[in-house]
Structure 1
Amino acid sequence: MKKVVYTLLALVAVTLAGCGSNQKTASSNSETTSNSRAASIMVKDSDGAEVKVPTNPEKVVVFDNGSLDTMDALGVGDAVIGAPTENLPEYLATYSDVENAGGIKEPDLEKINQLQPDLIIISGRQSDFKEDLSAIAPTLYLAVDGSDPWNSTKENITTLAKIFQKEEEAKTQIADLEDEIAELKTGAAKAGKALVVLVNEGQLSAYGAGSRFGIIHDTFGFAQADDQIEASTHGQSVSYEYVLEKNPDVLFVIDRTQAIGGDDTNNNVADNELVKETNAGKNGKVITLQPDVWYLSGGGLESTQTMLEDVQKALE
């Protein structure tokens, strides 16, 4: 009888020890998960300033559409809890059901504070709010440098990849894009001179190298029809007579009105009689670029791919 009692006591002791061990393991796992979530990394923003941000943040508010499409391409879009949903390009429409964090130029600080994000990502349009947003959560400023668009785009992609521990995926996708860029440049070198214009309710602005749409010249390799265009955010105001005078072989058109709304009845550049007299007009080389990508986005993995496909039409 005593042997039976001793055996039962021993079994109870082993069971209790096992439970204690399981509890310690669960506790240890919980601490590891907690520490993993709390881990941080130092990265540089587009101004060269170092910013301490969490790794693998679970709640991110994104104002920069290029960063949003990079996160989407890297498979970490589930972390996005807020964005300027009324200003999303069509290719990012799946994110229209996240919380509206304000306008693309004016973040809703109260709403963002309520969301309690782990990270906020902004670009030039929201730069005036950087200090206010930084008081809510770590705020990372990522923008495309017009004087070096592709390298700055790669830096932004790599920065996001580091934060989300997706560096190998990013390297692969960047390498694929660089192969496409190299192939495009070969064709662009034979395409003649190109001019990039933005049309807004019938009014034209021209953009050259070093501008917000300078990637067409600086990265994709299209020669400029006018190398004296002033590099500025809003472009150089021009007329249809100017377009005829420069006589581009390829005319790239970005319709701002279509991207944000307004009166676009006078925006069909290809139908203009003076444009029809240019080499581009005569040869069917007036290329309308996807407006929501070029005007509202850019600087991301998905948007760069779309831009490549857009300008490729000039070589067909």
Structure 2
Amino acid sequence: MRKTLRPIMFMFVLVIFAAVLAACGSENAEEAAADVNAEAEQTEGVAEDTEEAEADADAEASEVTVTHDLGEAVVPKNPETVVVFDMGVLDTLDTLGVNVTALPQENVPDYLEKYKGEDYQNAGTLFEPDFEAIYGMEPDLIIISGRASEAYEELNEIAPTIFMGVDTTNYVESFKGNVTTLAEIFEKEEEAAEKLAEIEQSIEELHEATTASETSGLLIMANDGDISAYGPGSRFGLLHDDFGVAPTDDSIEVTNHGQNISFEYIVEQDPEYLFVIDRAAVVGGESSGQQTIENELVKTTRAYEEGNIVYLDPVNWYITSGGLTAVSEMVEEVKAGIE
């Protein structure tokens, strides 16, 4: 009897053990499934975070945040509709091959004459933008400088607006910063870097020449009979600060319109070089800069007697100052004037 029961008991134990294993296996399977689901959810969450991060990165890659003197603007890269209120900026964009939509057409200098054509829209004047016309253009970007600065708030309500005036107390670095920013917006970094390198080399060569020869000079603006002087740190101070021409008077008042002077002052200073910007030549007037300057008093100065009166191009220095082409030519003008 006992021999018969032993196999039965053994089988019963095996069944119970199998049941227990099955139960344990089921629990493990459920736990495993739960773990898989958790990992899947975590992976899905990581994927979503990655997609969001990639979307943010794409958005950042397609935008440029520009901090300027009047505020900050988030600007789309390669904006299609661009309105420009600075002739120096227009010069730079033209040099870099960037399309411009609208500008104050009556202020365009001859070497940018194509912008007076029908392919471009008129945006008002440098001082008075045509807000209604600009609004209708639905611009992606508006660029201004000092002359249109009072219209900044209203323009900024129409589209992202950036101020790109040149800091005359730090002219070359400010100019380079503006060009670099424009190059980043329009993805023209390589072209801009090449142009800036050429200009920097020219400025370095000019500075070496002027300092080695101890060249000194006085820069004045002639404005239809009136004259004013500009020294270091002024609107045209790069002649001294960056080009290396020593000022005959380092105490000239620093103002945007220059220090009013007399012809007797020029005689008293007796400059080695007299640099002249004829404002009337670009804004209109009854007398030319040469007629104003070359009078009997100035003819007694060393600059006149030695043929060292240098008439600078007023377009480059007064209208398109800060542009890639203009700055390059400004360097060459001074270099040619002192050779």
TM-score (normalizing by structure 1): 0.84
Is 1:88 matched up with 2:111? no
| One-letter identity of the residue aligned with 2:114 | T
Over the aligned positions, Cα root-mean-square deviation in angstroms equals: 1.8
Is 1:60 matched up with 2:82? yes
SS of residue matched to 2:172: helix
Shift of 1:207: 0.5
Question: 5 Å matches for 1:1-316?
Answer: 39-45=62-68, 47=69, 49-76=71-98, 78=99, 80-97=100-117, 98-189=120-211, 190=213, 192-265=215-288, 267-316=290-339
Shift of 1:258: 0.6
Segment of structure 1 superposing worse, 269-278 or 151-160? 269-278
SS of residue matched to 2:198: helix
SS of residue matched to 1:268: helix
SS of residue matched to 2:274: strand
Residue identity over aligned pairs, in percent, reads: 47
Cα distance between partner residues in 2 of 1:169 and 1:220: 24
Cα distance between partner residues in 2 of 1:231 and 1:297: 21
SS of residue matched to 2:303: helix
Structure with the higher helix share, 1 or 2: 2
Q: Which has the higher contact order (CA 8 A, sep 6+)?
A: 1
| One-letter identity of the residue aligned with 1:115 | M
SS of residue matched to 2:222: strand
Shift of 1:143: 0.8
Shift of 1:268: 2.4
Aligned partners of 2:221 and 2:278 also within 8 Å: yes
Aligned to 1:32: none
Write out per-residue CA displacement over residues 128-151 of structure 1, whole angstroms, 9 at most, x where no aligned residue.
Answer: 000000011110100111110000
Shift of 1:50: 2.8
Shift of 1:94: 1.7
Aligned to 1:14: none
Aligned partners of 1:270 and 1:281 also within 8 Å: no
Aligned partners of 1:106 and 1:126 also within 8 Å: yes
Write out per-residue CA displacement over residues 229-273 of structure 1, whole angstroms, 9 at most, x where no aligned residue.
Answer: 011000000011101111111111111111111212575245212
| One-letter identity of the residue aligned with 2:284 | G
| One-letter identity of the residue aligned with 1:171 | A
Cα distance between partner residues in 2 of 1:265 and 1:92: 23
Cα distance between partner residues in 1 of 2:284 and 2:321: 19
| One-letter identity of the residue aligned with 1:234 | H
Aligned partners of 2:280 and 2:288 also within 8 Å: no
Aligned partners of 2:72 and 2:162 also within 8 Å: no
Task: Report which of the two structures shows the higher radius of gyration computed on alpha carbons.
Answer: 2
TM-score (normalizing by structure 2): 0.79
Shift of 1:277: 1.3
SS of residue matched to 1:284: coil
Cα distance between partner residues in 2 of 1:105 and 1:255: 21
Cα distance between partner residues in 1 of 2:208 and 2:86: 31
Shift of 1:192: 2.6
| One-letter identity of the residue aligned with 1:238 | I
Shift of 1:280: 0.8
| One-letter identity of the residue aligned with 1:256 | R
Cα distance between partner residues in 1 of 2:297 and 2:183: 47
Cα distance between partner residues in 1 of 2:83 and 2:219: 32
Cα distance between partner residues in 2 of 1:160 and 1:40: 12
SS of residue matched to 2:159: coil
Cα distance between partner residues in 1 of 2:89 and 2:277: 21
SS of residue matched to 2:158: coil
Cα distance between partner residues in 2 of 1:192 and 1:247: 13
Shift of 1:153: 0.3
Cα distance between partner residues in 2 of 1:191 and 1:121: 40
Q: Which structure 2 segments of 5+ residues have no match? A: 1-57
Cα distance between partner residues in 2 of 1:60 and 1:266: 36
Aligned partners of 2:62 and 2:77 also within 8 Å: yes
